């Protein structure tokens, strides 16, 4: 009877595999988020999203008991009076987040020193934006998934350092 001993991985090989695994995870999750954000933006642009839509959100939030008081105040004093600006800025922000997630993939594949910083910036912006949508009671099925995926990217960015 012959005994087979499993290969012993050196610490550097194990670290290399973990790093590749984190890069693959970053790529898959980043691509998913990039596509979802670009899709959100394209839907808004195609539908002619603008000031009237922001007014609907602001007015709805002001009268909705599920919306926290501080966010009702934000809607009444900042969002509503600046609906034209936000009507243009929100689809542009969503497109920027989508492109940002694609840039995260490129930076991770290039093993850039800025990969973790860019990931934190874009994923953090994604979480913040999604939470403002959630606070205004504008929740659709994909937003909780997008928050979870963005949080996963934040966690992998922390494990990569820089």
Q: What is the DSSP string of 11-51?
A: HHHHHHHHHHHHHHHHHHHHHHHHHHHHHHHHHHHHHT--H
Tell me whether residue 10 is in a domain: no
State the total domains in the chain.
1
Highest averaged pLDDT of the listed ranges 21-25, 52-56, 62-66, 152-156: 52-56
Question: Tokens in use for 101?
Answer: 């997630």
pTM of structure: 0.85
Tell me whether residue 96 is in a domain: yes
**Residue-wise pLDDT tens digits, 128-157:** 999 999 999 988 889 999 999 999 998 878
Domain boundaries, position 104: 27-160
Tell me whether residue 1 is in a domain: no
Tell me whether residue 71 is in a domain: yes
């Amino acid at each position: 009877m012959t005994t087979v001993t499993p290969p012993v991985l050196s610490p550097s090989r194990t670290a290399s595999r973990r790093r590749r695994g984190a890069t693959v995870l970053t790529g898959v999750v980043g691509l998913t988020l990039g596509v979802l954000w670009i899709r959100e933006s394209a839907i808004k642009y195609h539908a002619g999203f603008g000031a009237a839509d922001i007014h609907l959100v602001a007015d709805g939030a002001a009268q909705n008991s599920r919306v926290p008081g501080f966010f009702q105040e934000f809607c009444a004093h900042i969002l509503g009076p600046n609906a034209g600006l936000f009507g243009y800025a929100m689809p542009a922000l969503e497109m920027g987040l989508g492109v940002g997630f694609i840039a995260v993939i490129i930076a991770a594949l290039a093993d850039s020193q800025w990969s973790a910083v860019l990931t934190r910036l874009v994923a953090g912006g994604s979480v913040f934006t999604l939470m403002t949508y959630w606070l205004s009671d504008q929740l659709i099925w994909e937003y909780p998934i997008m928050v979870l995926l963005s949080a996963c990217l934040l966690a992998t960015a922390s494990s990569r350092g820089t």
